[in-house]
Amino acid sequence: MDNCIFCKIVAQEIPSYKVYEDDKVYAFLDISQVTKGHTLVVPKQHVADIFEYDETLAADVFSRIPKIAKALEKAFPEMEGLNMLNNNKELAYQSVFHSHIHLIPRYSKKDDFSIHFGDHTKKYSPSELQQFADAIKAQVD
């Protein structure tokens, strides 16, 4: 897609620190390394976000994730964990609108990454939770 920075990276029209490539995906270092080895995995096909995936594309992209995760673990044996993150749409902090999965190696609780869920186990009643589940279930194809 014209004017998409990640399409240009996939086409190698602009440089990147590539870590993996095959016919379906391209993986490269995030320009802003939240932690050492922070990698982005993108489908070669331009899709903006998860809502544009079909099952085949999802299988193509997600099937490559374990081998890249294991490569990170081997490259950086001091790594003690890995967060995978996929932001979809601006409100959810997506800033590049070519879908991508962040692989963020974790080395310490003090590194510059955090996810804070808090405890919301009492927020909704059982009947409200059942309504949510029913509403979603009715929409799954």
Q: What is the number of other CB atoms lying within 10 angstroms of the CB of residue 65?
A: 16
Residue whose CB is less far from Zn ion, 53 or 72: 53
Report which of 85, 123, 126, 89 is spatially closest to residue 105, judged by C-alpha positions: 85
Catalytic residue among 38, 46, 98, 100: 100
Least CB distance to ligand 5GP at residue 31 (A) = 3
At residue 19, φ and ψ (nearest 5 deg) are -115, -20
Interface characters, 30-49, with ligand 5GP (x: CB under 6 A): xxx-----------------
By CB under 6 A, the residues from 1 to 30 that bind ligand 5GP are: 5, 16, 28-30
62 vs 42: CA distance, rounded Å: 10
User: Does the protein bind ligand 5GP through residue 87 (CB under 6 A)?
Assistant: yes
User: Does the protein bind ligand 5GP through residue 96 (CB under 6 A)?
Assistant: yes
1 binds, among ligand 5GP, Zn ion, none (CB under 5 to 8 A by kind): Zn ion
Please give the positions annotated as active site.
Answer: 100
Q: Which residues bind ligand 5GP (CB under 6 A)?
A: 5, 16, 28-32, 87, 93-96
